[in-house]
Amino acid sequence: MSDEEWAFFAPFVIESGPKRGRPPKDHRLVLDGVFWIARTGSPWRDLPETFGPWASVYRQFRRWTLAGIWDLILEALNEAEGSLHSVQMIDSTVARAHHCAAGGKGGIQDQGLGRSRGGFSTKIHLKTNGAGLPIAVEITGGEVSDYRGYGPLMEADGPLARVLLADRGYDSDAIRQDMQDRGGVAVIPARRNRKVRESVDTHIYALRNRIERCFNRLKNARRVATRYDKTAASFLGFVQITSIRMWFRDFVNTA
């Protein structure tokens, strides 16, 4: 990573306070190793020795993930730029799961895995701002409907939307009413079987392609495009890390 990117991440990953136990490793090198795994999709054991022992890098990644560091960074980024949040978008995409992702504690349902038409998979539910940068991420089994993914995304910490764009998979009276109760409006095309059809502002709805492009960019990280992780926390961590790096490239670098 560049010096500018490290300067952004450093305050979040370097522990402060009294020194106890072993001195910390080179967190910049460890973070570079995590980024390498995310980009290449390689097994942890194939991590080049340049980044240090693979087990040490993995353990630090798990510590940061379970401590909620990636959530904290996303929240900080959301608070930093409010003008793009009046229009938001939600959608989902399916990531095929490798067979080695099975076997996590609690079974596949507890680990956000399932079987859909596309096979063994995980579904990534995403909410973005008007620029197509991620605000909130949730994962479920691949068979879970978009409708069921709406609630967790809207309850996640983050700015409220005045206009919410979504495809017809989210068309329901309950979702439209929920957006109204939140002080916003849902711009969602009606399902083909709906008797009373809602009109859609096509100029605003055209912005929804930005969340589709966001998914495309997320899946450039092979660890996101295919799920190899047994635990939901680790896979979600890689999705969040990739999201944060998108923010840095699109917003932080131009701020």
Collapsed DSSP state (helix, strand, coil) of residue 200:
coil
Q: How far from chain centre, in Å, is Cα 149? A: 13
Short-list 27, 33, 25, 70, CA closest to 49: 33
Collapsed DSSP state (helix, strand, coil) of residue 231:
coil
Residue 97 and residue 41 in contact, taking contact as beta carbons nearer than 8 Å: no
Alpha carbon distance 187, 166 (integer Å): 7
Residue 208 DSSP code = G
Residue 148 and residue 155 in contact, taking contact as beta carbons nearer than 8 Å: no
Short-list 146, 148, 185, CA closest to 168: 146
* pLDDT the model gives residue 21: 45
* pLDDT the model gives residue 90: 94
Short-list 230, 71, 229, 236, CA closest to 140: 236
Alpha carbon distance 13, 27 (integer Å): 7
Question: pTM for the complete prediction?
Answer: 0.89
Q: Which residues, given as ranges, of the chain have pLDDT below 70? A: 15-25, 80-84, 106-107, 251-255
Alpha carbon distance 62, 56 (integer Å): 10
* pLDDT the model gives residue 234: 94
